[in-house]
Amino acid sequence: MGVLTFPASVRIFVCVEPVDLRRGFDRLASAAREVVRQDPVSGHLFAFLNRRRDRVKILVWDRTGFLLVYKRLSRGTYALPTRPLPGQRHIEVDGARLMLMLEGIELSGARQRKRYQHGT
């Protein structure tokens, strides 16, 4: 898929429940509202996986309309980089984790070193 960069203000949400990927723009936007509980026109990214987890659709609003990215792995499945919090139906990831996930890399055993965060 190549390298995508996102401003720090863009949040990335991955729905952990399977979604029927025959859904189009409007029904995925509705899923963003219902499952992730975020406004789909916020500019944030919303990723949805199918039941077999070999396909992903990413929905984003770009100020003029929705953009939809659809990817199918030729082999293997997508693995979620983390588990959702109890009662949550989605996880939030950063751009690096999303890109690794889209490459089919499993991050469950990986450790990330602590990084500098402003104000801490």
107 within domain boundaries? no
- Each residue of 57-113: pLDDT tens digit? 999 998 899 999 999 999 999 998 888 889 899 999 998 889 888 888 887 766 666
Query: H-type helices in 1-120, by residue range?
Result: 25-31, 95-102
111 within domain boundaries? no
Distance of CA 12 to the CA centre of its chain: 5
3 within domain boundaries? no
114 within domain boundaries? no
Judge contact between 99 and 105, C-beta under 8 A. Answer: no
Residue type, 95: G
- Each residue of 33-51: pLDDT tens digit? 999 899 999 999 999 999 9
50 within domain boundaries? yes
Domains contained in the chain, number: 1
2 within domain boundaries? no
35 within domain boundaries? yes
4 within domain boundaries? no
pTM above 0.75, yes or no: yes
For the chain, the residue count is 120
Nearest 5 degrees, angle CA 38-CA 17-CA 80? 95
* Residue ranges making up the domain that contains 61: 12-102
